[in-house]
Structure 1
């Protein structure tokens, strides 16, 4: 029977099928899985905004380690240093973690090693004190410390002169070169792993292919570390004098990002790329201590700083270039742990999928 319209007129076949055809075409063009992926992208986007703005919108110093030194070794001088340190530790919100240091030479040594961010040398014969700082250890920390000490000195009727004993290299504007170098290495690491997944399926067809992919990461990491070190040293002269150390920490960072990305892809398919972005971009970059070092970040991002390759790598590069490589062992262990765990998980998950007889996920299939 020919369908009719509400007014009794006969409807054409095109009119009767049009709504159903449009809906079917829409479902074909925008599948339920596609909607899910779009929602996932939206969540990542909002998480990006929340993480970056949350980390950077109100930088506040938190227990920055500083020393207090009496220029005079007399009992009066030592008493003044002790009282000053106690007053600094009692400031609201605890911006400073102050301790008395025996003499100026010891304070300089601790700053040059990165154990202290600054030191106040109290002048016993005038009202002008000296603040020893290290912009190479973190320019934003120096600004925060200088602001706190200037305010305290002003309240006591004293003046302050700052002396930078670990200055930035001339090509390292605002001390951000190391941060961007680390970010470049990490981006290269997760992009090469994602590319391998897109080219031949998120999950390798068998464990042997997983090992091939892991092996391919090795020369890429070495070349990437070499390229980054060449650019910042020989090409641009931004960070000079530490070429070999930068090369190999760069290779380690690239390998960390690549193996973790591969592990996520083997475990979760194409969704693993989104998880990689979450770890390395949304959480890793704002907590890395680039524009604002860890002591100026809110508690959540501060706690992540040295636990992720971004922050561990950024502080390691800063310490290699400016602080005599002191304190980098823990950072190297963190980065190496990501390499090892990522490789083990990627290989182990590939074996598990193969034993279960799971078909490899194509780049556009659900995991």
Structure 2
């Protein structure tokens, strides 16, 4: 028998025996792999806790209401509303019915109560474009109070969502897409083939790439909700600018956290923008219906600030948008600065090592 024949008759697996299940298990289940799985589980549980905690029992808390009534009755009505069990509303006196109406349109109040001193038929003004659930809740509270006082109330919606906007949720969905697109793009740039750990030059290149990406994203979003579906029409360039800012806020923050913390940074981004940011944004239930924790953090995160900025720009002539602009600008600029600083810090650590 020749050596060749001998080799041909040898079983394929005999040259390299399998290390066995135990060895494979030990090699596969490392401490790092266990930590990643545990991290995924914790994010999953946090997601459930955050959404259920925010939405499981929407309860009105200090809904801003402007009260227009004759001077002798105004203080009494305001005090009675503010004394309701659970503090469902926060009433303030308005100088006139016109002033009360204007306070709703400028987002100083979510509803306006107009008292009829000569009869028993009062009026409640709401703006469901700012959040249908709040308008409905304010209506229910007013109807209950009026029935107890043997009075009647007429509800007038002075600013409803566009016909293509359904229940006024388009603003939330639009911003959600921008936020997710921003942090996913930043993550992909760090994982793409040929990418290296970020240094200052590479970080600047990635930041430069994010700018045209954000502009295109803002433009595309404005096209979708405007000419395509006619949900938020008539504000094309304003929405393009808002979209650019939202995407930059999300993307630069994600880039910074991922540069600073590595894979853990991606988890922190998901925690901030998805687990905490989405349920607290006011897109589903506005702040007066959310528990105190979610109500407090909502407008300090990009999803909430972006939703408010889009909604108030489209429906309320840009009123009450200054804070949202500052929040998004701070994330965009702060994220860029932190990303550059983190890459510089990593360079120094590598050089020292």
What is the TM-score with the length of structure 1 in the denominator? 0.88
- CA deviation after TM superposition for structure 1 residue 144, in Å: 1.1
Q: Which residue of 1 aligns with 2:123?
A: 130
Q: Which residue of 1 aligns with 2:149?
A: 156
Q: Which residue of 2 aligns with 1:363?
A: none
Q: Which residue of 1 aligns with 2:304?
A: 311
Q: Secondary structure at the match of 2:307?
A: helix
2:134 aligned with 1:141: yes
Q: Secondary structure at the match of 1:84?
A: helix
Q: Which residue of 1 aligns with 2:248?
A: 255
Contact 1:203–1:266 (8 Å) recurs in 2: no
Q: Secondary structure at the match of 2:350?
A: coil
Question: Which ranges in structure 2 are unaligned for 5 or more consecutive residues?
Answer: 1-13
2:283 aligned with 1:281: no
Q: Which residue of 2 aligns with 1:23?
A: 22
Question: Which ranges in structure 1 are unaligned for 5 or more consecutive residues?
Answer: 1-13, 71-76, 360-367
Distance (whole Å) between structure 1 residues aligned to residue 328 and residue 343 of structure 2: 23
What is the TM-score with the length of structure 2 in the denominator? 0.92
Distance (whole Å) between structure 1 residues aligned to residue 194 and residue 113 of structure 2: 59
Q: Secondary structure at the match of 2:66?
A: strand
Q: Which residue of 2 aligns with 1:292?
A: 285
- CA deviation after TM superposition for structure 1 residue 358, in Å: 6.6
Q: Which residue of 2 aligns with 1:53?
A: 52
Q: Secondary structure at the match of 2:20?
A: helix
2:347 maps to which of 331, 346, 354 = 354
Q: Secondary structure at the match of 1:191?
A: helix
Q: Which residue of 1 aligns with 2:3?
A: none
- CA deviation after TM superposition for structure 1 residue 30, in Å: 2.5
The equivalences for 1:1-367 within 5 A come to: 21-70=20-69, 77-200=70-193, 204-357=197-350
Contact 1:202–1:269 (8 Å) recurs in 2: no
Contact 2:198–2:259 (8 Å) recurs in 1: no
Distance (whole Å) between structure 2 residues aligned to residue 257 and residue 281 of structure 1: 11
CA offsets, 1:39-82, max 9 Å, x none? 00000000000000000011111111111112xxxxxx322222
Q: Secondary structure at the match of 2:163?
A: coil
- CA deviation after TM superposition for structure 1 residue 350, in Å: 0.6
Q: Secondary structure at the match of 2:161?
A: coil
Distance (whole Å) between structure 2 residues aligned to residue 245 and residue 111 of structure 1: 22
Distance (whole Å) between structure 2 residues aligned to residue 345 and residue 202 of structure 1: 20
Mark the CA change 1:164 to 1:205 in structure 2 (over 3 Å): closer, same or farther: closer
